[in-house]
Amino acid sequence: MLTKYGTNNIIIMITFGIILIIAGIFIHKIWLTSILEILGAVLILFTLWFFRDPERKIPEYAINDHSIVLSPADGKIVEIVEENEQVYLNEKCIRISIFLSPLDVHVNRSPLTGKIEYFRYHPGDYLVAYHPKSSSKNEQTHIGIVNEIGKVFFKQIVGILARRLVWDIKEGDSLIVGQRFGMMKFGSRMDISVRTNSEIKVKVGDKVIAGISQIAKLK
């Protein structure tokens, strides 16, 4: 299944790939025909791979327990640090950062069941997504979710290749843990901040899957 968040990109990229293949057919130089057809095929295959949106079975324990925080993105844990979060939690917290390579699924899912209490979009720079300063300087959205157990603050952050964030949520919306809410395109980063008394379930270097992997438990 392909994601609805990338429809325009999918149409453009696949169309361009087909044009390359067709152009190769009408060129009477074998080496150039081969290059164009290979480029067209690679572009089409990359598009289908990058914009894939696999169905996932959200763990029952996370649906039933509103203290469970699941990963909002596929990728690798690159940083777990304590810091003062002054946007939403407004206190010392633990930030967990996930780096997404272009090969990861880029559709994002809600880390928590709850209500969106805070949402802001911030334009910015395009540092490589694994750069520590990308968390504060790059183009990003800020999202705060609250439920009867606690709060979670997280950010969609674009990288050096990405130039667009996509979301279909707003303040006041209710989300279920693991629910799709948007996408980060072409290499990105996701930061999740929880209070310091939360139980962290991952470590740096771990691979996580959106809507499947538990990353924390709120207290």
Structure tokens at 106: 């880029």
Nearest Cα to Cα of residue 100 among 109, 91, 112: 109
| Residue whose structure tokens are 């799709």 | 180
213 is catalytic: no
Element (DSSP H or E) covering residue 47: helix 30-50
Amino acid at the residue 116: I
Distance CA 86, CA 75 (A): 26
Which one from 188, 193, 198, 213 is the annotated catalytic residue? Answer: 188
Rounded to 5 degrees, what are φ and ψ at 78?
Answer: -110, -15
Distance of CA 58 to the CA centre of its chain: 17
Question: Mind telling me the catalytic residues?
Answer: 188
